[in-house]
Homo-oligomer: A and B are copies of this chain.
């Protein structure tokens, strides 16, 4: 097919991943480096530029072959103006005109989308959803990101803020969420929330093999809890099971509202597999209306931590095509 190349950039609070991708979706080169978000905005912008420069250099392509850059960034942001407003995990970022900055640096069109929308588009383009036009994608990480694809296209709402599935209300006066509200899905099912929920049980004196692991200096993370669940630790198993149920309740609502063909769960937590998916699917089966519940396939993403960068390249491809 075409002979054009696209660069995707997945800007995260921990890592920046860039990649060179063909119009057919072949990932040719990948660069991954720490964000060092705490060093501030200027430092992070340098990291992004450096990462993109590395892709250019390694590509050894003649000038003009790389035609656009797509960036998936933490929100809130404005895809039209290309301004990143104030992401909670990028300290010092307020109204950063990221699109303009990168455009000026590389003299190429730049397209911006939020990270969860980018991941959803990645899984739709080349991942779990490649045969599906109506899907909902949840990315479980520091927060819970959401992306909704309807009729093959990302759904944005009137102000570009649609798809915030992490801020569906799960328990009306439940756990405090980062957004200021109480009881959001994110306050129960993000990796951060999983650790917090576990911590509260440990504080309350609940017995668990996690105590020893943490005392030995192990990092207290969602994946540590998953490991201990695999080894049969009762508290860790309970936490994983409950996480699946929380997700299932929110997804049952989504299934009733959107009647999607597929729900894709991405992000590290989704790698816990059946330990989360079994209770999740059970809740959807019990709670959602029969026809949409029987229809929906609930699956794990298959692009792993490349979903964001591949989706960002797709954002570049789409934006570039639409403007031609």
Contact = CB atoms under 8 A, between A and B. Distances in A.
Contact of A134 (B76, B157, B167): B157
Size bracket of the A interface: 35 or more
A172 interface: yes
A26 B5 CA distance: 55
Contacts of A170: 169, 172
A168 interface: yes
Interface string A129-165: 0000010000000000010101000011111111111
A250 B254 CA distance: 12
Which of A157, A167, A168, A260 has the most chain B CB atoms closer than 10 A to its own CB? A157
Contacts of A249: 169, 172
A164 B256 contact: yes
A261 to B, nearest CB: 5
A28 interface: no
Interface string A157-185: 11111111101111110000001011000
Contacts of A181: 252, 286-288
A167 B260 contact: no
A148 B249 CA distance: 21
A295 B162 CA distance: 12
A69 B95 CA distance: 53
A257 B287 contact: no
A289 B167 contact: yes
A257 B162 contact: yes
A70 to B, nearest CB: 22
A259 B169 contact: no
Contacts of A155: 150, 258
A225 B69 CA distance: 60
A253 interface: yes
A61 interface: no
Interface of A: 76, 134, 146, 148, 150, 155-165, 167-172, 179, 181-182, 249-250, 252-254, 256-261, 286-289, 291-292, 295
Given A134-B158, A181-B287, 16 more contacts: A155-B258, A157-B258, A158-B295, A159-B295, A161-B289, A163-B257, A164-B256, A164-B289, A165-B256, A165-B257, A168-B253, A171-B171, A172-B249, A179-B289, A181-B286, A253-B253
Please provide the 6 A-B residue pairs with the shortest distance between their CB atoms, ordered closest to farther: A157-B259, A162-B259, A164-B256, A167-B256, A168-B253, A181-B287
